[in-house]
Structure 1
Amino acid sequence: MATQKKSVLFICLGNICRSPIAEAIFRHMVEAKGLADQWEIDSAALGDWHVGQGPYDSAVKVLKEHGIKTNHIVRQITKADFKKFDVIFGKDHDNIKELKKLKPKDATAEIKILGEYDPKKELIIEDPYYGTYKDFEDSL
């Protein structure tokens, strides 16, 4: 009997920092447990500024330093994502607010803030884009 895949979508404003980092880390963890075939994992942007690009250089660098690979290409969230994914994770209250505005009436995805699952108990994952390299490290 085939098991239906679980699915998660990580969201941030531009899909170049926080959400591709979260996607890569989650994928790395799932693969390490041998469960890659049981999961659909992706990330997307609320805005369209960076569609078609890869993650920000500092995001790629910090992942690489931790032995985590990414080949993500930026995309913008779609209405279909609200039915395709089980859970859509935002990184801060503004992300959650915008996701709730975009959520269609027939959506099946749960919207949650990723920080609820942070072992460091930091509810908000700050955007490191305008910060220092340490801010990228802290967002892991």
Structure 2
Amino acid sequence: MEGAGSGSKKAVLFICLGNICRSPIAEAVFLDLLKKKGQLDEWHVDSAAIGDWHVGGPPDKRTMKTLKKKGINDYHHIVRQINVEDFYKFDVIFGMDEQNMSDLEDIQPKGSKSVLEMLGTYGSKCKTTIDDPYYGSRIEDFEDVFDQVVRCCEAYLKKNEEKKS
């Protein structure tokens, strides 16, 4: 993998509990934004789970329905669990809530290069947690996550571009 360690690409990893709702939405949104900016070749983007419940499977059907409804039709992902190597490959690992952040801090190896950040700290001053829509029955909860993630990813990319200039 050509990731952050190679120096040629910036690398970000999105994490949520099961890698079937929030983190794949974030990965898909981030990739879509990069594609629209013509910057896909400058980044390595991935998502993963804290837990192993869904490893090897696809994202939740409601995740994929939301992505399609919002115009992202080319996203494909197989659920995977975060591993030790990720902490050395990725510049930033984004969690979605305080529990994700706590879990990431617990498993991050000492001396690893990744910076841990909560995605929701970008783009919205009032709500930093990106709530898990999995347990609800409303597709609107997935759409709300999508909209929040778009704001956060746009804000992160803007901040990253400002660092360059």
Quickly name the TM-score band, shorter chain normalised: over 0.9
Q: 2:98 aligns with which of 84, 93, 98?
A: 93
Q: Which runs of 5+ in 2 are unaligned?
A: 1-6, 147-165
Query: How do residues 66-81 of structure 1 correspond to structure 2 at under 5 angstroms?
Result: 66-68=70-72, 69-81=74-86
Q: 1:118 aligns with which of 95, 99, 123?
A: 123
Kindly provide the amino acid, as one letter, of the partner of residue 118 in structure 2: I
Quote the Cα distance in structure 1 between the aligned partners of 2:46 and 2:23. Answer: 9
TM-score (norm 1): 0.95
8 Å Cα contact 1:20/1:72 also seen in 2 = yes
Sequence identity (%)? 54
Q: Does 1:65 align with 2:69?
A: yes
Q: 2:46 aligns with which of 42, 48, 52?
A: 42
* Residue 4 (structure 1) shift: 1.3
Quote the Cα distance in structure 2 between the aligned partners of 1:91 and 1:124. Answer: 6
Q: Which runs of 5+ in 1 are unaligned?
A: none
* Residues 138 and 29 of structure 1, relative CA distance in 2, 3 Å threshold: same
Kindly provide the amino acid, as one letter, of the partner of residue 80 in structure 1: E
Quote the Cα distance in structure 2 between the aligned partners of 1:39 and 1:139. Answer: 23
Query: SS at the partner of 1:129?
Result: coil
Deviation by residue 1:65-89 (Cα, 9 ceiling, x = unmatched): 0111310110000000000000000
Query: SS at the partner of 1:139?
Result: helix
8 Å Cα contact 1:19/1:43 also seen in 2 = yes
* Residue 122 (structure 1) shift: 2.0
Q: Does 1:32 align with 2:33?
A: no
Runs ≥4 in structure 1, deviation > 4 angstroms?
A: none
TM-score (norm 2): 0.81
* Larger proportion of helix: 2
Quote the Cα distance in structure 2 between the aligned partners of 1:123 and 1:55. Answer: 23
Query: SS at the partner of 1:25?
Result: helix
Q: Does 1:136 align with 2:121?
A: no
Report how many aligned residue pairs link the two structures: 139
Query: SS at the partner of 2:13?
Result: strand
